């Protein structure tokens, strides 16, 4: 499969649960991103990875824990979340960080609901 | 501060009418600006970038440094243009605006 793939597409979890979101890209890109998309807010950049190394943590609470084992895979581990963390979590990739062309390729997102 | 502002949450027009989606930015450096689009049930994707000075699907956008704007325009809207449109500023990361929903009625 080509492009950026995210699983699961939908996730419902309680505040005490631990779950993970997965992102995989088959584009040969070096940079991967997690964005949060909430209603009535801009897309919020959460984390940036370049060649598996985290280059940006945009003041994200520690209950969100990213993991990038290689340039093709990115995880977002979730634990003790709050209802206000309910949102669409988008993964994206680009050839390089900042994207010399500014083009990010997005996945379809994982819709998270925290009860 | 680096910021992208899209003042309109919703823009509704009839088919064939001109469209202008507004975008203003705040950035002290030399800006690189983009428009992304998200059609219903599809993923967010790049529409056009200012550096290319291209027209995509009839849309154009001109960077106006004096007014710090990068408005998206199309002379004759089509129903298939209905979507969410996001303006984005590239610094060392992409900063997005809140988006404008364009509805084109038949």
User: Do residues B8 and B87 lie in contact, with contact meaning Cβ atoms separated by under 8 Å?
Assistant: no
- Higher-pLDDT residue of B28 and B19 is B19
Strand partners, B63: none
Task: Of A26-35, A98-107, B74-83, give the lowest mean pLDDT range.
Answer: A98-107
Task: Of A97-111, B1-15, B38-52, B75-89, give the lowest mean pLDDT range.
Answer: A97-111
Burial of B22 (0-12, 13-18, 19+ CB in 10 A): middle
pLDDT band at A107 (very low <50, low <70, confident <90, very high): very high
Q: Is the pLDDT of residue A100 over 70?
A: no
Q: Is the pLDDT of residue B67 over 60?
A: yes
User: Do residues A115 and A15 lie in contact, with contact meaning Cβ atoms separated by under 8 Å?
Assistant: yes
Tens-digit pLDDT profile for residues A54-99: 888 888 999 999 999 998 999 999 999 999 999 999 999 998 776 5
Which residues of B are less than 8 Å from A56 in CB distance?
Answer: 93
Which residues of B are less than 8 Å from A100 in CB distance?
Answer: none
Give one DSSP letter per residue of chain A, joined into a string: --SEEEE-SEEEE-TT-EEEEEEEE-S--SEEEEEEE-TTS--EEEEEEETTEEEEE-S--TTEEEEEEETTEEEEEEES--GGG-EEEEEEEESSTT-TT---EE---EEEEE-
At A39 the pLDDT is: 81
Nearest CB neighbour to A101, from listed B43, B49, B98: B49
Which residues of B are less than 8 Å from A45 in CB distance?
Answer: 93-95
Asked if the C-beta of A23 comes within 8 angstroms of chain B's C-beta atoms, the answer is: no
Nearest CB neighbour to A56, from listed B32, B49, B93: B93
Q: Is the pLDDT of residue A47 over 90?
A: yes
User: Do residues A11 and A17 lie in contact, with contact meaning Cβ atoms separated by under 8 Å?
Assistant: no
């Amino acid at each position: 499969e080509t492009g950026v793939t995210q699983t699961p597409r939908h996730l419902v979890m309680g505040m005490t649960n631990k779950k993970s979101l997965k992102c995989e890209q088959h584009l040969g890109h070096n940079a991967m991103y997690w964005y949060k998309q909430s209603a009535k807010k801009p897309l919020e950049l959460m984390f940036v990875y370049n060649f598996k190394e985290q280059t940006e943590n945009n003041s994200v609470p520690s209950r969100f824990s990213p993991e990038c084992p290689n340039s093709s895979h990115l995880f977002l581990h979730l634990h003790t979340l709050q209802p206000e963390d309910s949102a669409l979590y988008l993964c994206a990739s680009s050839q390089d960080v900042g994207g010399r062309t500014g083009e990010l390729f997005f996945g379809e997102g994982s819709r998270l609901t925290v009860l | 501060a680096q910021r992208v502002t899209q003042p309109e949450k919703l823009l509704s027009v009839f088919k064939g009418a001109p469209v202008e989606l507004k975008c203003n930015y705040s950035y002290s450096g030399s800006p690189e600006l983009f428009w992304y689009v998200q059609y219903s049930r599809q993923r967010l994707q790049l529409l056009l970038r200012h550096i290319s000075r291209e027209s995509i699907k009839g849309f154009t956008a001109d960077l106006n440094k004096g007014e710090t704007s990068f408005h998206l325009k199309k002379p004759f809207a089509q129903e298939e243009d209905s979507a969410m449109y996001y303006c984005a500023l590239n610094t060392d990361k992409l900063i997005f605006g809140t988006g404008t929903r364009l509805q084109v009625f038949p």
